[in-house]
């Protein structure tokens, strides 16, 4: 864990909470790097984090949702950032959003070394260090082992999905008693890591690397699986656009749902 990154995220959280009182900050100002609408508050949060990283580190690259790739020197360390994951929730005053920041030694998910997600409203910080585990604040966390299908609580990303996608998941979807979609993938991944959720599924081909990089490491260090729709470990680059499919579960959850999504 790097205390500097923790303090930078806390500082940016405070900035965001202050900006929520300014109606102008919740106005759209154009589109970000991925083509999604951008709020002014997104840009200001991103600016604060990138400035803080550039002040503290040499020879880095930062790939961010709004600006894309920015560099300082010859990059030897790579960061991937979503300055506000849950912007729509923020714009509608729904208190569920986060900042997601991951650090890697190379420009690939296999080189992820640290992951940080801060809950913008509670202030809780989820973090992981490769090979050392995952934590919520100072408490070590682990995915939940579940053995009864009736007990499963799964998050599905459903918006903008095709009819083919719905047909693919409907057998599982209609079998579940408990389905959620909370609006901040990074934070929902942390909920999987600590056992509040039993899994997160998005097979639309739309999930982005900026949404998942920090949560990816946090989930795996908490004992979870981060798989694609062919049940292989998800891999992606950290310095360029990427979209894909994810199934994020514990091993016990995978065994319960696998027969219903084949």
What tens digit of pLDDT does each residue of 191-207 get? 999 999 999 999 999 99
If asked whether residues 11 and 112 sit together in one domain, one would say: yes
Domain of residue 38 covers: 3-140
The reported pLDDT for the residue numbered 161 is 67
Q: In the predicted model, what is the mean pLDDT of residues 15-25?
A: 91
The reported pLDDT for the residue numbered 111 is 98
If asked whether residues 198 and 118 sit together in one domain, one would say: no
If asked whether residues 108 and 172 sit together in one domain, one would say: no
If asked whether residues 178 and 62 sit together in one domain, one would say: no
**What does the mean pLDDT of the chain come to?**
93
Could you give the CA distance from residue 144 to residue 136 in angstroms, rounded to a whole number?
15
If asked whether residues 29 and 67 sit together in one domain, one would say: yes
Could you give the CA distance from residue 228 to residue 235 in angstroms, rounded to a whole number?
9
If asked whether residues 229 and 153 sit together in one domain, one would say: yes
CATH code (residue 201): 3.40.190.80
CB-based contacts of 158: which residues, under 8 Å, 6+ apart?
166, 181
CATH code (residue 65): 3.30.540.10
End-to-end CA distance of the chain: 39
pLDDT-derived band at 261 (thresholds 50, 70, 90) equals: low
If asked whether residues 125 and 52 sit together in one domain, one would say: yes
What tens digit of pLDDT does each residue of 115-131 get? 999 999 999 999 999 99
Which of residues 83, 108, 140 is at a domain's end?
140
Could you give the CA distance from residue 118 to residue 123 in angstroms, rounded to a whole number?
6
User: pTM, whole model, 2 decimals?
Assistant: 0.95
Give the residue from 237, 214, 238 showing the smallest Cα distance to 226.
214
Please give the tally of structural domains in the chain.
Answer: 2
Which of residues 96, 112, 140 is at a domain's end?
140
Q: In the predicted model, what is the mean pLDDT of residues 135-145?
A: 97
pLDDT-derived band at 262 (thresholds 50, 70, 90) equals: low
What tens digit of pLDDT does each residue of 50-84 get? 999 999 999 999 999 889 999 999 999 999 999 99
If asked whether residues 211 and 105 sit together in one domain, one would say: no
If asked whether residues 19 and 133 sit together in one domain, one would say: yes
If asked whether residues 211 and 136 sit together in one domain, one would say: no
If asked whether residues 241 and 116 sit together in one domain, one would say: no
Which of residues 72, 107, 140 is at a domain's end?
140
């Amino acid at each position: 864990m790097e205390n500097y990154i923790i303090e930078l995220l806390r500082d940016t959280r405070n900035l965001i909470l202050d900006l929520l009182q300014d109606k102008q900050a919740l106005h759209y100002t154009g589109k970000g790097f991925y083509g999604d609408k951008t709020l002014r508050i997104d840009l200001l949060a991103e600016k604060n984090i990138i400035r803080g990283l550039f002040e503290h580190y040499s020879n880095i690259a930062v790939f961010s949702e709004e600006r894309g790739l920015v560099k300082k020197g010859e990059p030897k360390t790579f960061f991937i950032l979503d300055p506000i994951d849950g912007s729509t929730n923020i714009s509608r005053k729904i208190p569920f959003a986060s900042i997601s920041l991951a650090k890697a030694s190379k420009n690939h998910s296999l080189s992820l070394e640290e992951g940080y997600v801060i809950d913008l409203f509670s202030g809780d910080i989820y973090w992981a260090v490769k090979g050392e585990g995952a934590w919520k604040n100072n408490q070590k966390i682990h995915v939940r082992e579940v053995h009864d299908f009736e007990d499963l609580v799964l998050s599905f990303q459903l918006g903008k999905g095709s009819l083919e996608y719905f047909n693919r998941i409907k057998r599982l979807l209609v079998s579940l008693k408990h389905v959620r979609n909370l609006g901040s993938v990074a934070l929902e991944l942390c909920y999987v890591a600590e056992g509040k959720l039993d899994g997160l599924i998005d097979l639309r081909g739309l999930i982005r690397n900026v949404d998942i990089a920090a949560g990816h490491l946090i989930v795996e260090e908490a004992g979870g699986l981060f798989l694609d729709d062919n049940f292989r470990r998800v891999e992606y680059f950290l310095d360029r656009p990427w979209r894909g499919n994810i199934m994020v579960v514990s091993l016990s959850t995978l065994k319960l749902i696998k027969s219903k999504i084949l």
